[in-house]
Structure 1
């Protein structure tokens, strides 16, 4: 009886801990970038990922003008879609987003104007 009680207690504890560590898929634009992240942003890179050491990553995309951003999860892949609205614009604009993923998503794919592009740099703090 005692072994069964300990087993049930252990199983409940594991469920609670896994619920606390689980994240939800989300993607949002960030206006105020934390200083520790700002220090690692390289304006010479087009696409950069900085993992903050917790549950998410900052995705930095330097574009030629304004963009529309969207998220399209498919199976284990998270597709980040950037569409440049005025790609002929000479001004470079920094766009910063915060991405959290859940346990079933293990791949990040970025498409700019329908074309897949790789990260220039990925940093983990």
Structure 2
């Protein structure tokens, strides 16, 4: 029984070591260094944190935004889908993106279409 438990535990540990670090989450409290470089005239901004595998995506839109990530080889697709765009108020959404070191390219899709980043900054 102990051997089965040890094998099971080893498999779990090895699996967790190989798991990806990719994640995206909307943040309510934006770090000061990020807030200082956000420019309200842009719809889509990407702010890279130098020497870390972290980026911030700033997206200004009408409606509710849902997010998803999809990795394809060395490319990460960030999916932003906007719904309920009936309200005329534009809302700023800030997302913290934790990257895997193997990712070379980030492609942002808004409602299924690849979109150009308006402003790219490193801090």
TM-score class, shorter-chain normalisation, is 0.7 to 0.9
Which residue matches 1:98?
Answer: 96
Q: 2:49 aligns with which of 38, 46, 52?
A: 52
Q: 1:80 aligns with which of 75, 78, 81?
A: 78
Structure whose alpha-carbon radius of gyration is higher: 1
Unaligned 5+ runs, structure 2: 1-19
Which residue matches 1:109?
Answer: 107
The Cα shift of 1:39 comes to 0.7
TM-score (norm 2): 0.78
Q: 1:35 aligns with which of 11, 32, 37?
A: 32
Q: How does 1:1-40 map to 2 (within 5 A)?
A: 24-40=21-37
Which residue matches 2:68?
Answer: 70
Q: How many residues align?
A: 103
- Runs (4 or more) in structure 1 with deviation over 6 Å come to none
